[in-house]
């Protein structure tokens, strides 16, 4: 019997138009709820943390609804989380915007800094350099994805720990500046680009992510 649809919560923390994320996930077969309810967010098969705009404001909004604790609790239990755009950036230790340093959620070491390119923001379609073994970008490594950002993680500082699988990092380049386009680190995955705005390639990425999700508390549905 086929797996039941994945239940996904998109964290509603007030950052930008997240309806496109909800619609994109529904279009690839997920049951989606847009909410900041702690119980719903913890019990979902997957949690999506979107974000647009400024690093500091997004972190503040996430913390205001308890999203930082939700993310920590899910990851402590190995429950999947997907960050999108600034939702990737806030997973790092800090962001430096306009000379002001803000503390992030601290899931990954490193700092978000301004792109060193002649044209900023980086806006439009771009290819990525995906690693061998990627699950998120399986079958779409050569496709183009839609980016809109002025800041990025430009180094990766987390090595493999003990028997854990090493993180997989996807890179992209804009104006000669190389930056992180996606990360797959156990239960925590994230993209700097917008899969919900990336056409069929983005839809395939979301399907790939849904395919990695365990179906929590669903044994009775598949029995």
Catalytic one of 98, 111, 194, 220: 194
Catalytic one of 26, 173, 196, 200: 196
- Active site includes 85? yes
SS (H, E, C) the chain: CCCCCCEEEEECCCCCCCHHHHHHHHHCCCEEEEECCHHHHHHCCEEEECCCCCHHHHHHHHHHCCHHHHHHHHHHCCCCEEEECHHHHCCEEEEEECCEEEECCCCEEEEEEECCCCCCCEEEEEECECCCCCCCCCCCCCCEEEEEECEEECCCCCCCCCCCCCCEEEEEEECCEEEEEEEEECCEEEECCCHHHCHHHHHHHHHHHHHCCCCCCCHHHHC
- What separation, in Å, do the N-terminal and C-terminal C-alpha atoms of the chain show? 8
Catalytic one of 85, 122, 149, 184: 85
Active site positions, annotated: 85, 194, 196
């Amino acid at each position: 019997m086929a797996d039941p649809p994945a239940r996904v919560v998109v964290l509603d923390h007030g950052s930008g138009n997240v309806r496109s994320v909800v619609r994109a996930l529904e279009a690839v077969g997920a049951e989606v709820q847009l909410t900041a309810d702690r119980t719903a967010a913890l019990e979902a098969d997957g949690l999506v943390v979107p974000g647009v705009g400024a690093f500091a404001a997004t972190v503040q909004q996430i913390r205001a609804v308890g999203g930082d604790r939700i993310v920590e609790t899910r990851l402590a239990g190995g429950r999947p989380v997907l960050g999108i755009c600034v939702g990737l950036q806030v997973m790092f230790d800090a962001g430096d915007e306009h000379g002001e340093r803000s503390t992030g959620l601290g899931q990954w070491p490193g700092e978000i800094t301004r792109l060193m390119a002649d044209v900023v923001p980086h806006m439009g379609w771009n290819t990525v350099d995906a690693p061998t073994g990627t699950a998120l970008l399986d079958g779409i490594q050569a496709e183009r994805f839609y980016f809109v950002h002025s800041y990025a993680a430009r180094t990766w500082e987390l090595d493999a720990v003990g028997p854990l699988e090493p993180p997989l990092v996807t890179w992209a380049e804009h104006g000669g500046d190389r930056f992180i386009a996606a990360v797959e680190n156990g239960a925590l995955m994230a993209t700097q680009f917008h899969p919900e705005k990336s056409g069929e390639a983005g839809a395939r990425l979301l399907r790939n992510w849904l395919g990695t999700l365990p179906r929590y508390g669903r044994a009775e549905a598949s029995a």
